[in-house]
Structure 1
């Protein structure tokens, strides 16, 4: 298989650019790596456990702990022990964290606009459907392979 035919390499290239663009756009908020993804997730799953966040974002518990610790240091989130199970930390987004959500959404929209700028409306619709189909295939693979 030729390098140019490797789909993974193309996806990695897009992912790398996405990461750099978002990190640069959010630099003034000191959001690095996956921190923005944790904030976005908490904006609609507030109070979930660190383990739940790690599973949802498909990252290791160690990555989740590092990201949450950094977000806590910046004042974007806070952790509390679960009342029923003291081993579990519940993570909640702070008012400061909620205040950053519009900037994150704006940066993500700008990135989408750049990525899709040379697509016709039909091409964008097809591209999104193919991405959804690929994601769904991988979700099914994860579901069946983890049994």
Structure 2
């Protein structure tokens, strides 16, 4: 992309600066952003199913392949953040749940994420924050329809 000062070029540069912010990594957490997303996903799943989620369910929710989730769950299990349990109703099924340590990390990440976005709203103001939400929603709509390019 040429650096011609056009609106599309400036928009591209803004997106690249935003990408480099790595705001999730600024949380001083023991986990990568992808690990935090996994923990949040498992926690949400536990809210609807106390016994936990199957790898395939996590894969579907995160929109990543099951082998990727399996590898990530193994890493989080080694850190003591999640545990695998055999399903009580079907012994062939393995379910993934958060441990107490995983719950604690998830709660800390939730608080820090909320604080970050609250600070952003305070910095931008309510009106600009609402406008940003509207624009981001429009970007999502545009991205969903790949035929627009």
Say yes or no: TM over 0.5: yes
RCO comparison, higher one (Cα < 8 Å, 6+): 1
* Unpaired segments ≥5 residues, structure 2: 47-51
Match of 2:56 in 1: 51
Shift, 1:113, TM fit: 4.4
Match of 2:97 in 1: 92
Shift, 1:122, TM fit: 0.7
Q: Aligned in 2, Cα 1:68/1:126: closer, same or farther, shift over 3 Å?
A: same
Provide the TM-score with structure 2 as the length reference. 0.70
Q: Aligned in 2, Cα 1:13/1:81: closer, same or farther, shift over 3 Å?
A: farther
Match of 1:14 in 2: 18
- Secondary structure, counterpart of 2:32 in structure 1: coil
Out of 127, 133, 140, the position equivalent to 1:122 is 127
* Unpaired segments ≥5 residues, structure 1: 143-147
Give the Cα–Cα distance (whole angstroms) in 2 for the partners of residues 114 and 58 of structure 1: 29
Shift, 1:65, TM fit: 2.0
Answer whether contact 1:71 1:77 (CA < 8 A) is retained.
Answer: yes
Answer whether contact 2:81 2:98 (CA < 8 A) is retained.
Answer: yes
Give the Cα–Cα distance (whole angstroms) in 1 for the partners of residues 12 and 114 of structure 2: 24
Give the Cα–Cα distance (whole angstroms) in 2 for the partners of residues 38 and 72 of structure 1: 12
Give the Cα–Cα distance (whole angstroms) in 2 for the partners of residues 109 and 14 of structure 1: 18
Match of 1:67 in 2: 72
Count how many residue pairs are aligned between Structure 1 and Structure 2: 137
Match of 1:145 in 2: none
Match of 1:32 in 2: 32
